[in-house]
Structure formats: C-alpha cells, structure tokens
C-alpha cells in the first residue's frame, strides 16, 4: 500500500463540496484537497440560491471554508470548469479520487402548453438573477403586471414570492443584485399567487418560512382551497406547518397593500397568451389516497383562468449528466452506492441523492461519501496519481491563466463588502466574471 | 433559562456534536433527522453551557432571555418538540 498522502479533487464549491472537503481533511490528517469551482466564488446555492433576506444562512460556507484553510492542506481553484479547462479523465489521473458535488442546477419543467411563452420562467432563473449569478445577469422579467403566479409548494416558491413583494426599502438593506434592485424598484406586482396541486398538508414549505411571513406587516397572507386543515395524523414538523397555514386561513384579510395567496388543490393546465403570457389556466383537484398511503391529486372539471403576465415554475431542481459518469435520467442523479460510483470516483450532495433537504443535510451526505472513499483508500483500491500536482497545475494554467485561488476569492469578497459599505448594504454583489476578476488584480484596482 | 434554536437553523447539527447532555434533537442518525424543518433544544435538559451557540456556524442558537422579537415563538416550539419526543 502506498504511503503517499491521499490527494482528492472535489468538483463544485457549494455546501456539498465544502462539507466533503472539511470532512475529508478531518478524517485523514494527511489528505490534501483541491476544490474546483466553475465560478471565481465559492458557495454554490448558498451564495446564489439562498435569498438575500436570509443572508445569515450563507455564513455556513465561510465557517467551513475557514476550517478547511486552517488545515493547511486545502486549495480553492475557482474559475475552472471541469469538462472545459480540465477533463474528468485528466482530473481522475492526477488524484487518488475525485468527488463530484456539482449539484442539480437545472429546473424541472411543467410539460404544459405555453411554457415557453415570454413571461413564463423557471424560478431558478429568477433566483439566480436576483442573487447576481453571472449566468443570469442579463435576464429580464416583466414586472409591469399586478399579479404573478408561482407554481410549486416548496421554499423556493416562497423565496420568489417574498422577493417580489418585500419592496425596495427592505431589499435595499440586503445584498440583492443591483440590477434586480433597480428592476424591483419599478415593479407593479402587488399580488403573488402560489399554486399547489395538492392540499396544505402535503406542501413542502417549512414551518420557519411560513412563520416568517407573519412579520411582513404590509402583506396579507391569504389561504385558498387548503383542503383538510386537521393536524391529527401529522408529525411534529407537519403539525407546525399546518398550524401556521391554519392561522393564516382563519385570519380575515386586513386590507394591506400587498397579498400573498397560497392556493392549494389547483394544477396548471396551460399558460395562455399569443405573443406573451396573458394568463394561467388551472384545474381544481381533489385528493385521492393511494394504496401506499400517499395523497394523489386528481383533476376535476372546474377550470379557471388566472390573469397574469408573469409565471414562475418552482417544481424542483434537476441534476445534469457528468461526462464519463453513468446517469439516472429519471431521477436526475449519478447512480452510486453510499456515494461511491466506482473506486476513485464519488458523488455527494444533490447530484448524489437528488434535490432535497436543507444546507446542513449535505453534511451527513458528505460524511457517508467520505467514509466510502477512505475505505477504498485504506483497502488500496485507489490508483496513485499519475501526474504531480505541479504538472496538472501547469497544464491548467496553460488553458486558464486566471485561476482564482483562495486569496483571489477573498479579494473579491473584500471588494464586494467595501462597495457595500458605501451604500450601507452588507455587500454589492458582482454579477459578471469579468468584474470579479478585476477585483483579484490589485495593481489595476488601485486607480 | 435554556437555549433556543431559531428559524434560521439549516440542520448543520454542529450543535448536536457540541452538546454535553445530548438535549438537541433530532440528531443525525435518528430517523426524524432527514426530514426535519429544524433542530430543537429540550429546555428541561439544557445546562446553559453555551457550547451549542458557539458551535453554530450561523448563530441560530440563542439564550432564551435574549431572543429577538422575531424569534420569540421559537421558545415554545423548542419546548413543544421536547415534550413530544422525550424518551
């Protein structure tokens, strides 16, 4: 068995990748970890998914990054795309093992007519846009209508609704993207309808997110077609969720200037409009209990149309295949056994288990993957690296001269925070890779 | 007095590892962990050692007497979870 220290590459610097890095550095005190990320900034969905009004939850990333850095055996390799600057095969040959933590970045589609009309969007695009993700900076959303509809009953739907309704005064205190702040200042949206095909008891909104809506004193939360509001058969969390929805359902509208409508038991049938979205056709459902105890939505005969210019689908994320790895098309994940795809190749996070859970769920997930990896390493099932770290680095720099390391990222971080100070905001987020890179070049920055 | 976990909890569970009296649940490895909205502290078992608050990477654990107004309801929610799940 080789006595050379374990060298591991992790692809994707979101919560899943960072949890895997810190776990590995903790469990093997000689292991060296390089964390590759397509963007110059780490954080993944903690940076580009978590809402600006929930920014405290992003700090989890900073803590684990500091932990990784403190080991002295961790390197961040930002602005490097695996599959473009380095192939998965090159990466595999240069390390004992590669862990893919590339997430599930694309959205699930509805599969109904009109889905591609202007005004119909993936919620993930809107989220990326208001969080200044470079891929989404040039998107536009027509905020000129009074009503928007969000299809889906998870926390992303609530995020989208809140961002549409919070208003510029609240948003201006956050690190929302400048282009989004500007667009939302001019927004005429006063009502957001969140549509769920099943009842309130089946919704995936978490209790804290539902409770938080109560603090927004200019928004009426309205509950429609909730179905059975009883909590008798529900576990603690679902009871808590239902109690909150029940509170809103029993409360009379207070005539506040904005409304957030939770409409349950309705499915979208078609997005209507000729040249752009004019409305959403929905059908009322009833719930049927399946043999396995799950509740299924069965469409009835009552069809209605909701007038709107803006429709977001928030019905889930979906993983994308990775070159050279098997892929389960139906589930949108890489098939694996406790994180192991094959000895030397591993997955963790959403690409491993599908898009579920919260940030911290990725920690347990990463622990399992790292355990499998270390088992393989200790049983001498991993091939030793064929290239030295210097050889790989040289090849990488030839193809990507602007690799952003930890210092480079911290320069971007400091620059964003400094820009925020002037505006009394936590930070001003850079929404293009070019602007980020400029912050990493101190000499040119001085002028 | 006890500590309270508030709604910004992301289930990182560093607090569970830090707690000397195992009063934070559901813990990783317990069946309820994977689907829980957040973690909860049993106020009757909590010994006020502050270890959870220090361990939490995002400051989602606070002493009950210092809860900001937006998190006040979580004192009772933590206690309710503990009442239902006390073994």
Output the pLDDT for position B86. 78
Interchain pair B57, A363: CB under 8 A: no
Interchain pair A208, B8: CB under 8 A: yes
Find out whether A393 and A384 touch, Cβ atoms under 8 Å: no
* β-bridge partners, A224: A263
Distances (CA, A) of B71 to A295, B6, B9, B66, B81: 33, 6, 12, 10, 16
How close does chain B come to A270, measured CA to CA in Å?
32
C-alpha span between A374 and A339 (Å, rounded): 12
* β-bridge partners, A281: A270, A305
How close does chain A come to B24, measured CA to CA in Å?
15
C-alpha span between A104 and A106 (Å, rounded): 6
Predicted-assembly ipTM surpassing the 0.90 threshold: yes
* β-bridge partners, A307: A279
Residue B52, chain A, CB below 8 Å: the answer is no
Residue B49, chain A, CB below 8 Å: the answer is no
For B:54-83, CB contacts with A below 8 A are 57-60, 70, 73, 77, 80-81
User: Across the interface, which of A237, A240, A359 has its CB nearest the CB of B12?
Assistant: A359
How close does chain A come to B83, measured CA to CA in Å?
11
C-alpha span between A271 and A286 (Å, rounded): 21
Closest CA to A258 of A196, A323, A189: A189
C-alpha span between A374 and A168 (Å, rounded): 50
Which residues neighbour A378 within 8 Å (Cβ) at sequence distance 6 or greater?
none
How close does chain A come to B47, measured CA to CA in Å?
24
Interchain pair A212, B28: CB under 8 A: no
Interchain pair B7, A211: CB under 8 A: yes
E strands present in A200-278: 219-224, 258-263, 266-272
Average pLDDT per block of 10 residues along chain A, 447 residues long: 84 98 97 98 96 94 95 98 96 97 92 97 97 96 98 97 97 97 98 97 95 96 89 90 95 93 98 97 94 91 96 94 94 97 98 94 97 98 94 96 97 96 94 97 58
List of chain A residues whose C-beta atoms are within 8 Å of the C-beta of residue B60: 56
Chain A residues in contact with chain B using a Cβ-Cβ cutoff of 8 Å: 54, 56-57, 59-60, 62-64, 206-209, 211-212, 215, 235-237, 240-241, 357-361, 363-364
Find out whether A77 and A403 touch, Cβ atoms under 8 Å: yes
Stronger pLDDT, A302 or B86, i.e. the higher one:
A302
Residue B27, chain A, CB below 8 Å: the answer is no
Output the pLDDT for position A445. 47
Interchain pair A360, B13: CB under 8 A: yes
Interchain pair B84, A236: CB under 8 A: yes
User: Across the interface, which of A207, A240, A358 has its CB nearest the CB of B10?
Assistant: A358
Interchain pair A359, B32: CB under 8 A: no
Find out whether A312 and A145 touch, Cβ atoms under 8 Å: no
Interchain pair A241, B37: CB under 8 A: yes
Output the pLDDT for position A36. 98
- Kindly indicate the confidence band of residue B87, based on its pLDDT and cuts at 50, 70 and 90: low
Q: What is the pTM of this model?
A: 0.95
How close does chain B come to A347, measured CA to CA in Å?
18
Strands A279-289 and A295-307: antiparallel
Residue range B12-36, pLDDT digits in tens: 999 999 999 999 999 999 999 999 9
Output the pLDDT for position A233. 82
Q: Give the chain A residue nearest B76 (alpha carbons).
A: A240
Radius of gyration of the CA atoms of chain A, in A? 23
Interchain pair B11, A57: CB under 8 A: no
Chain pair A-B, CB pairs under 8 angstroms: 70
How close does chain B come to A66, measured CA to CA in Å?
11
- Kindly indicate the confidence band of residue B54, based on its pLDDT and cuts at 50, 70 and 90: very high
- Cis before residue B26, ω within 30 degrees of 0? yes
Distances (CA, A) of B25 to A45, A225, B34, B75, B86: 26, 34, 12, 15, 10
Interchain pair B12, A60: CB under 8 A: yes
* β-bridge partners, B4: B62
Residue B87, chain A, CB below 8 Å: the answer is no
Interchain pair B11, A359: CB under 8 A: yes
Output the pLDDT for position A447. 44
Interface test with B, best of A51, A57, A208 (most B CBs within 10 A): A208
How far does CA A235 lie from the centroid of its chain?
Answer: 27
Q: Give the chain A residue nearest B28 (alpha carbons).
A: A364
Residue A111's CB is within 10 A of a number of other CB atoms, namely 8
Interchain pair A208, B11: CB under 8 A: no
């Amino acid at each position: 068995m080789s006595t050379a220290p374990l060298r591991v590459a992790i692809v994707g610097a979101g919560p899943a990748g960072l949890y895997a890095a810190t776990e590995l550095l903790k469990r093997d005190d000689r292991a060296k970890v390089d964390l590759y990320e397509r963007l110059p900034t780490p954080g993944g969905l903690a940076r580009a998914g978590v809402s600006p009004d929930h920014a405290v939850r992003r700090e989890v990333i900073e803590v684990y990054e500091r932990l990784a850095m403190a080991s002295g055996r961790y390197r961040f390799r930002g602005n490097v795309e695996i599959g473009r600057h380095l192939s998965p095969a090159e990466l595999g040959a240069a390390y004992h093992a590669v862990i893919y933590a590339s997430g599930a970045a694309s959205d699930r589609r509805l599969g109904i007519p009109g889905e591609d009309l202007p005004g119909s969007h993936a919620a993930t695009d809107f989220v990326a846009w208001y969080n200044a993700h470079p891929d989404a900076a040039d998107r536009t959303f027509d905020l000129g209508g009074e009503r928007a509809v969000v299809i889906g009953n998870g926390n992303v739907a609530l995020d989208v609704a809140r961002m549409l309704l919070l208003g510029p005064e609240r948003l201006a205190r956050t690190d929302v993207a400048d282009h989004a702040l500007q667009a939302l200042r001019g927004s005429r949206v006063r009502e957001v309808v969140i549509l769920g095909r099943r009842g309130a008891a089946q919704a995936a909104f978490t209790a804290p997110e539902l409770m938080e809506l109560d603090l927004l004193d200019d928004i009426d939360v309205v509950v429609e077609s909730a179905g059975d509001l009883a909590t008798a058969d529900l576990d603690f969390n679902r009871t808590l969720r239902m109690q909150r929805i029940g509170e809103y359902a029993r409360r009379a509208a207070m005539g506040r200037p904005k409304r957030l409508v939770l409409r349950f038991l309705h499915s979208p049938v078609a997005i209507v409009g000729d040249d752009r979205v004019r409305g959403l056709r929905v059908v009322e459902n009833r719930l049927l209990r399946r043999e396995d105890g799950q509740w299924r939505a069965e469409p009835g005969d009552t069809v209605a149309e909701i007038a709107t210019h803006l429709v977001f689908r928030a019905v889930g994320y979906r993983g994308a295949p990775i070159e050279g790895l098997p892929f389960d098309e139906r589930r949108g994940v890489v098939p694996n056994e406790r994180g192991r795809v094959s000895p030397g190749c591993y997955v963790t996070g959403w690409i491993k288990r599908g898009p579920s859970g919260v940030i911290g769920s990725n920690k347990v997930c990463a622990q399992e993957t790292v355990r499998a990896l270390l088992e393989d390493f200790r049983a001498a099932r991993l091939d030793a690296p064929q290239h030295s770290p210097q050889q790989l680095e040289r090849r990488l720099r030839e193809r990507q001269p602007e690799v952003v390391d930890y210092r480079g990222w911290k320069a971007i971080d400091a620059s964003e925070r400094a820009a925020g100070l002037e505006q009394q905001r936590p930070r001003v987020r850079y929404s293009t890779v070019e602007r980020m890179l400029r912050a990493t070049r101190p000499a040119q920055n001085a002028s | 007095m006890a500590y309270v976990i508030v709604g910004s909890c992301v289930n990182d569970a560093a607090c569970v590892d830090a707690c000397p009296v195992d009063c934070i649940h559901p813990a990783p490895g317990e069946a309820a962990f994977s689907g829980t909205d957040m973690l909860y502290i049993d106020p009757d078992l909590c010994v006020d050692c502050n270890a959870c608050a220090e361990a939490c990477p995002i400051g989602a654990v606070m002493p009950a007497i210092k809860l900001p107004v937006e998190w006040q309801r979580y004192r009772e929610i933590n206690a309710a979870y503990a009442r239902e799940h006390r073994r």
